[in-house]
Structure 1
Amino acid sequence: MENRILFIANDAGLYGANQSLINIISSLKEKNVFVTVVFPIKGAICDVFDEKGWDYHIVYFRTELCARPSGVIELSINILRNYKKKYINANALNALFDIVEVNKINIIHSNSSVVSIGVDLAKKMVIQHVWHLREHIHPNFDMYVYGGLEKYKRKIQKNKNIICITKSVAHGFGVDKTAFVLLDAVRKMPKFKEPVQKDKYFLFCGSIVKNKGIEEAIEAFYEISINYPNYKFLVVGEGAPDYETYLKERVKGLGMEKKIEFLGFRKDVDNLMANATAFLMCSRNEALGRVTVEAMINFCLVIGYNDSGTAEIVEDGKTGLLYKSKEELVKHMGYSIANYPALEIILNNAYKFALNNFLEEKFSTDLNNYYNNLD
């Protein structure tokens, strides 16, 4: 029997899991697999689907994420919110039942660890469910789930079909022995490129949030700029307005307004990466880091924090440089400026590694094989 897949997305933005979702859908359609997607609201990713002519549905439901329980009052409010979430999701299931029946779906694929409605849907319809774990859920990220993380982990552990994007994520959810680790598809096979002469700037790309390590990157650049005053630091991405304002004030306080530029959302990230001296991945507990792989594909040196998914992707001295302290980060930044010719070996190694592990073509084959072997 041919597989007919319903993906359930956790939001409708164009970051993280949904960027990967676009690659997944593209790769499966190349193999003529029927795919449709449910989003909880209409958002930016729907415009992409509209442009491509891909099928999707809007069904309002709630994820398992909740507000920080800062006290007894907030905890009580979360309990009420949980009841409301259950009511909303119970109503959403009726619409999802119809989508499954009309499209003759035989596999539900939940595209995030914070989406659990797919479990209930698959159970009711007596069909297979695949849970794709992509995030580290941790208080350091201001991520909380109803009922507490340990209880939620036990719920996930009861599922027999689990995909994790890295070993680090599998370990975080306690499913090391049962999960299938499948590295994300990042793009199709690119046209062959070569390293280009680098411009005098370092690059940060991603959500402008505290746990991404942007403050450490700013501090490190401030120190490196003392010896290399002609260099700049470009920050690509968006975040909460209050936090961006705080960062810009901090940059102003350092007297670095002309050297540290906040570019917001950009469509020319590939070019920015290709010409950067190095890409800084300063996030702690990064689940995988699509932008790390994109930097590799663009022959951009990755200087990454030695932890979690980043440490699985970057091999220190071979496909990038890893650090554990701000002092080590500054040292690597200086090295990337002074030793560019010697780094071409690392850039080529990283490019080959990315092509061997993160292309849609390989991903679709591995995912289809996984689908075909579900019990």
Structure 2
Amino acid sequence: MENKKKEIKVLYIIHGCQMGGATISFLNMITELVKYGIKPIIVGPNTYKGNTGKEFFKRIEQLNIEYHGIFIPMQIWPITLNWEQRILWPINILKLVIKILIGTKQLEYTIKTTNPDIVHTNTGVVSIGNTVAKKYNIPHVWHLREYQDKDFNWKIFPSKKIFIKKLQTDNYVITITKDILRYFHLDKNSNCKCIYNGILSTDDAKEPISKEKYFACASQIQENKGHEDVIRAFAEFYKTHKDYRLKILGFGDKHFIYKMKKLSLQLNCSEAIDWLGYKNNVKDYIRKARALIVASWFEGFGRMTAEACMLGCIPIGRNTAGTKEIIDYTGGLRFSTVGELISRMNEVVEMQEREYNNIAKCIQQRAVNAFSIEQNAIEIYKLYYNIYKNPSF
């Protein structure tokens, strides 16, 4: 690359403003890329509920980034879990098609008025960026942050086969794990590569501190994140470790949270579980935790696993998908069953402080090399630069 950084105008398409993993990773990415001369323009939903997008819009306002609100349809088949949804299925399909048409037209107008060098779609479930970029002969980067079916039980519209064909044709694809790259049959395509999410700055990777007597669990609170297994394991662990607590951080489905609180009452451990909700200072909780438990069934990347590694907290993660890939690389403890999770919790509390810190430091160093915000931005800027210099490379 040339020493002088070329300003490259990139139009980013996001599917939501809720401060979940994909949004946080996106904000980390563009915050660092601005330093490389990237001029970001964000296209996202034209509405958001209540305070859902408050933190997101505060961040982009601080960065002085232009935002355009349009229809952003997620191209997945409508859910049919009950009789009402099944009756409304034809209507919901029609609504989806209309939203795609409207969103496409709105995106066309935005692209014509902003004239970007590159279009970058921040998720796999939005396809209008690919359609419009192809029409106007603009290079398109598709950032796959999820399996879609394995992790969220979504069915790709109109089909997975068509989606994969789109990915393999006239696109530059970034996946957040090597497993997602393989899952969509992209590992042999030279225009497709894995770039791990940027989780924290290298400055955040400080010396591991003395741990307090609690386990942390930080994610959206919903069934596929595995909270039930965590509570069942903690209930058994708590029988012999009354001085330990479980701190659950994150927002989620109210009905599911009620169900989990009821389960903790039935298992006689509710008094030792703290439901803390969404926290801006989640790093402080993880840094002090004896371990972070990541129980998601199929995590696309598992940013909290990587974050724990960088903060000097040993992760205990389910032996699947992105969580497995991270722990395979950095080190940590894995489990497949509730029984194994209980064993890993006992294992980590029985470690002497010196042993714990030695393991945590080794994990931390590997994580910094792979998952820092700085490293993520370097890799993505290299991709942009190569595309800008030679769109057909």
> Aligned-pair distance for 1:4?
1.2
Decide which of 372, 378, 382 is 1:359's aligned counterpart: 372
Does the aligned pair in 2 maintain the 1:130–1:163 contact within 8 Å? yes
The answer to whether the 8 A contact 1:68-1:142 is kept is no
SS in 1 for 2:237: helix
Q: CA deviation at 1:164?
A: 0.5
Equivalent position SS for 1:208: coil
8 Å Cα contact 1:4/1:33 also seen in 2: yes
Deviations, residues 193-243 of structure 1 (Å, cap 9, x unaligned): 212111111110001111111111111111111121111111001111110
CA distance in 1, matches of 2:170, 2:29: 22
Contact 1:25 1:35 in 2 (8 A): yes
Matched, 1:218 2:223: no
**1:255-275 deviation line (CA, Å, top 9, x unaligned):** 212111111111221111111
Tell me, yes or no, if structure 1 residue 306 matches structure 2 residue 319. Answer: yes
- 1:277, distance to aligned residue in structure 2 (A): 0.8
1:35 aligned residue: 40
User: For residue 231 of structure 1, what is the aligned residue in structure 2?
Assistant: 244
Query: Quick check: 1:66–1:78 contact (8 Å CA) kept in 2?
Result: no
What amino acid sits opposite 1:109 in the alignment?
H
Counterpart residue number, 2:333: 321
> Mean Cα displacement is larger for which, 64-73 or 337-346?
64-73
Amino acid at match of 1:320: G
In the alignment, what sits opposite 2:26?
21
| 1:148-168 residue CA offsets vs partner (Å, 9 max, x unmatched) | 434433443434311100011
Alignment of structure 1 residues 79-90 onto 2, 5 Å? 79-90=90-101
CA distance in 2, matches of 1:340, 1:159: 54
Q: Please point out which of 113, 130, 142 is paired with 1:131.
A: 142
User: Offset of 1:325 from its aligned partner?
Assistant: 2.0
SS at match of 1:97: helix
Task: State the superposition RMSD in angstroms.
Answer: 2.1
* Shift of residue 130, structure 1, vs aligned partner: 0.9
Greater shift in the superposed pair: 149-158 or 70-79: 70-79
Partner SS state of residue 190, structure 1: helix
Distance in 2, matches of 1:67 and 1:237, equals 26
Moved more, 365-374 or 135-144: 135-144
Q: Does the Cα contact within 8 Å between 1:109 and 1:118 map onto a contact in 2? A: yes
Q: Distance in 2 between matches of 1:137 and 1:156?
A: 14
Q: Secondary structure at the match of 2:111?
A: helix
Question: Which one-letter code corresponds to 1:68 in the other structure?
Answer: I
In the TM superposition, 1:162-241 aligns within 5 A as 162-178=173-189, 179-191=192-204, 193-241=206-254
Q: 1:93 pairs with 95, 98, 104, which one?
A: 104
Contact conserved, 1:296 with 1:351, CA < 8 A, in 2?
yes
Per the alignment, do residues 259 and 71 of structure 1 end up closer, same or farther by CA in structure 2, a change over 3 Å counting? closer
**SS of equivalent residue, structure 1 residue 127:** coil
2:14 is the counterpart of 1:12: no
* Secondary structure in 2 matching 1:328: helix
Other structure's SS at 2:334 match: strand
Find the counterpart in structure 1 of residue 385 from structure 2: 372
Instruction: Tell whether 2:344 aligns with 1:339.
Output: no
Alpha-carbon distance change, 175 to 76 in structure 1, aligned in 2, over 3 angstroms? farther
Unmatched tracts of structure 1, length 5 or more: none
Residues 209-288 of structure 1 aligned to structure 2 (within 5 Å): 209-288=222-301
Instruction: State the TM-score, normalized to the length of structure 2.
Output: 0.89
SS of the residue aligned with 2:202? coil
Q: Give the whole-Å Cα distance in 1 for the aligned partners of 2:363 and 2:166.
A: 37
Superposition TM-score, scaled by structure 1 size: 0.93
**Would the aligned equivalents of 2:78 and 2:92 in 1 still touch at CA under 8 Å?**
no
What letter matches 2:285 in structure 1? L
Contact 2:235 2:268 in 1 (8 A): no
Question: Could you tell me which of 286, 297, 301 is aligned with 2:310?
Answer: 297
User: Is the CA contact 2:151–2:299 (under 8 Å) kept in the aligned structure 1?
Assistant: no
Residue 74 to residue 270, structure 1, CA distance change in 2 (3 Å): closer
Q: Sequence identity of aligned pairs in percent?
A: 26
What is the Cα deviation at residue 75 of structure 1?
A: 6.0
Deviations 1:172-211 (A, max 9, x none): 2222222210001112222552121111111100011111
1:82·1:146 contact (CA, 8 Å) conserved in 2? Answer: no
Shift of 1:114: 0.3
Contact preservation (8 Å) 1:3, 1:34: yes
Whole-Å Cα distance in 1 between the matches of residues 22 and 34 of structure 2? 18
